[in-house]
Structures are given as structure tokens and as C-alpha cells.
Amino acid sequence: MTVRDLSVAVVGGGIGGLAAALSLLDAGIDAHVYEQAADLREVGAGIQVAPNASRILHRIGLEPVLARIGVRPGHWHQRRWDDGRTLLRTDLGDAAIEAFGAPYYHVHRADLLAALAAQLPTERLHLGHRLTAVATHDDRAEARFANGTTVTADAVVGADGIRSAVRAALFDRDRPQFTGCIAYRGLVPADRLAHLDLPVEAVAWLGPGNHFVHYYVRGGALFNFVSVIDRDTWTAESWTEPGAVADVLAAFEGWHPLVREIIGSVDETFVWGLFDHPPMARWSDGRVTLLGDSCHAMLPFIAQGAAQAIEDGACLAACLAAAPDDVPAALLRYERIRLPRTSHVQGLATTNKQRFHLPDGPAQAARDAEMAQGSTDWSFKAIAPIFGHDAAVLPET
């Protein structure tokens, strides 16, 4: 069998699924995407696209559109919660290209999803397909949908998110644990904050029990923020539950006036609970495998959730292209390569949750001193293994 004889059915039309299909097509593999929704939708929130993801997006044809819809921040800036003192300020901009060979972008999630969908040939995107069953056989895989359609392909890939139907069909449903944090997100028209003269950079304010992140998206027309707050209990894992701006302001009482002014400028905010999904022991069964949030949903404390899903698709395409005659072996190779890396990044995100929210005291002072030495996350020295990685280049063993 040649690469061009291979067919892959990708279940899920989010950022990870669409990027995977485009990487598969770029490798010469016949790929189709099956999405349960009647139309593609993404939440109104920003996303950070680090060089390890942007190099793949450029490779599959999105460089021109990313230059238009994205914002390239000049720095990653971590600041103290009350007085605004700089804890760490890392050059991005051209420095990221020089160091890692690809740029760092801030993008609106809906804009990135639309760009990926526009790049995929229309006949390869199938909406209104809710998965009901998946099966793997010696010579094929099958996906069955609620509309009566059955799709047969050489491989089926579950890119269907944290509530993955493909994962549930292959393995037990995971049991995420509440992290003790909730997050509020908001978007503000940039001209509403023009008087603050905010620089084009990603800023994280670190403080006792909370942290606050903000940056521009949509070519600089919108200002995105996410505030993460310690809380004892939460039940739903949803991105779309309305929140109260007054509650966010109350949680950031005593914080720097700039933080409070940004929060107070938003018209509406949405809140969700942050749940920890432990790394899975395996992703694949025969000719069926998983990708992105379906197998490694990440906490947002290292801004790598979408990036790792995009990496998954590039690695999957490379593994299938390298062994078109043995799809199960190719999927196992993909799993062996990707699972340790994504588990490592998940662990870094979990560690950052604790580090970002330290109360003032000896541990916080030690953290700040370490950051001043440039030896923690977001310094180039520390982040190079993540940002410098090319997921399409397979290790020799």
C-alpha cells in the first residue's frame, strides 16, 4: 500500500481535528473530518500559538492568514499582583523566530478555527455527524453515526474533545478531578482600553490564590483576558456558563489598579471550572487512536493545549506516511512518541498552577528570585524543548 492509498476518518472538527486532517492531506493521505455540530463554532476566547504549533500551521498553508488575524507579542511578561513589579520579561517577537524558526502568535480561537476550516476542501468536512460507535478490524476501521452513516477507513482518529465518544468506546470514561480553580474569560474592544497604552505583549500577573493573563487578539482589535481564581468546589466542565463581572472584581480586590480596570471594562464574562485529566496509559486500539483533548486535556497554565493537539496531527501524519502498509504499528508508534511528551507538558501545567498562586512569603520570594535568574518557564532556556520541537520529524528509534 502507498501513502495515497491510505484513508483516515477524523472524528471531531475542532482545532486539533482540522489541523490533523490538513497535516494528513499534506502528507498525501486521504482524510475526512466528521463533526457532530451542524456548524463549526468556537468560544470567544484567545489562544496562544507558540512556535512548536505555528511552524506546523505555516507548513499546512496558514502563514498568510495568521499574519492577518494573529498578533505577534513583543514579550512574555510576568508581574507581581499588587505593585506590578516585573518578575520575568522574555523577548518574543523576532527573538522567537531567531531562536525557534517560527513566530509566536496570539489568535482568537474562532478565527483560527475558521482559518483551518477554510483551508480544508469543503467536500472533506462533514457536519451533523454524531458518533455512536467505532470498531477496529484487521483490515479496516469503522465509525457509525446517528444519522445512519457508516464510514470505513484505514484508521479512525478521535479528536472529539474532553467528552470524547471515541475514547469512551475504546476505554473507560476518564474521571477528571476538580483542581480547586475556576477561570473567567472576557473580550474587550481594544479601543476601550486605548487610554491605558497597553503594550503588545502577553502579561501574567501572579498573586496569592489568583493569577490574571491578558493579551491582544484579532489583529489587535480585541483585548483578551483570563482570570484564574482558587475556589473550593465546582461541578460542570463548561466553557460557556455566564459569569458576573462583580464576582471577578471582588476576587481581585487589592490587586494592581490596571488589572481591575481591565476587568471592569468588559461587558460580559464567562466562567468554567478547571479539571485535571491524568495522563492515559494508552491511546490506541488497532486502527483507532486519539488526539488532543480526547487523550491529554491540559490545564491552561502553560498555554500548550491547542499546540499539543496540533503537534499530534503532524506526528500522526508522519507515522502513517512512514508505514502505510501497517496502520496499527504506525498508530502505536505515534502513541509511543506523543504520550511521553504530552504527559510531560501536562505535568508542567499542573506545577505552574501551584507556582502561580503562591501566597506572599518565603516560597513566593524563592520563586521570584528563581524567575529573576531566567531559569523558569517562559525563559528561552527553559522553554526551548517545547518551542523548538518539530513534531513532524520522527525520532530514529
Neighbours of 244 (CB within 10 A): 12
How far is it, in rounded angstroms, from Cα 80 to Cα 263?
17
> How would you write 352-392 as a 3-class SS string?
HHHHHCCCCCHHHHHHHHHHHCCCCCCCHHHHHHHHCCCCC
Pairwise CA distance, residues 263 & 18, whole Å = 33
Is 215 among the residues known to form the active site? yes
Compute CA 344 distance to the chain's CA centroid, rounded to the nearest angstrom: 15
How many angstroms separate the CA atoms of 350 and 261, rounded? 29
Instruction: Report how far residue 95's alpha carbon sits from residue 292's, in angstroms, rounded to the nearest whole number.
Output: 28
Which grid cell sits at 358? 503562591
289 - beta bridge partners? 157
Task: Tell me which of 104, 184, 215, 216 is the catalytic residue.
Answer: 215
| 3 C-beta neighbours (distance < 10 Å), count | 16
Beta-bridge mates of residue 188: 223
Residue 2 C-alpha cell reads as 502507498
Handedness of CA 134, 287, 292, 28 (dihedral sign): negative
Q: What amino acid positions are annotated as catalytic residues? A: 215
